Amino acid sequence: MSDDDVLFNSGVLTGPRRGAVSPPEEAWAKKKGGLALIECPQRIPCNPCSTSCPTGAIIPFTDINDTPEIDYGKCSGCAICVAVCPGLACLVVDMTFSDKLALYKLPYEMLPLPDKGDSADCLGRTGDVIARGMIEAVTEPRRDRTYVVHVSAPKELAGDLRAIRVVKRHGQ
């Protein structure tokens, strides 16, 4: 079975491919605020990441079915792409957060919203728990009730961490 078959049948990204965009390691380690990762490998009619990017880092599509490409020199890590992506395919990773931890800016569509200091299970692409993290902030980049949760977790998870599950409310 090919990687394309696995992706089509399971929805799980199995490896690098056009549309699964990660920053070059040397850029990632230096960019305060973080850089976007986009995992949108199928050509579908969707472009809000590109049309909403305030810095033009997500290169405008020639065709609405294009897969995203990023100019990492322009990416500010603002996480607007995270908030607007209907497929939850965007996240931002800030490797400058601390010596051992990265800050992951992830889409969050559950209620109640977590609070700073809450503990969270960090989940991989298939929903498996890969670490424990801490909620650092919850933002609403577009002021439209679409939230982005900022969670600190080990840097080495950057290739795998894609979601969280709140497990302990701060102060409980």
Q: Give residues with Cβ within 8 angstroms of 106, minimum separation 6.
A: 82, 91, 148, 149, 150, 151, 161, 162, 163, 164
Is residue 98 included in any domain, yes or no? yes
Is residue 40 included in any domain, yes or no? yes
Give tens-digit pLDDT for 73-130: 999 999 999 999 998 999 999 999 999 999 999 999 999 999 999 999 999 988 999 9
Domain count, the chain: 1
Is residue 35 included in any domain, yes or no? yes
Is residue 3 included in any domain, yes or no? no
Is residue 108 included in any domain, yes or no? yes
Instruction: Identify which has the larger pLDDT, 138 or 10.
Output: 138
Give tens-digit pLDDT for 3-26: 454 445 556 666 556 656 677 778
Is residue 7 included in any domain, yes or no? no
Is residue 151 included in any domain, yes or no? yes
Q: Which domain holds residue 101?
A: 16-168
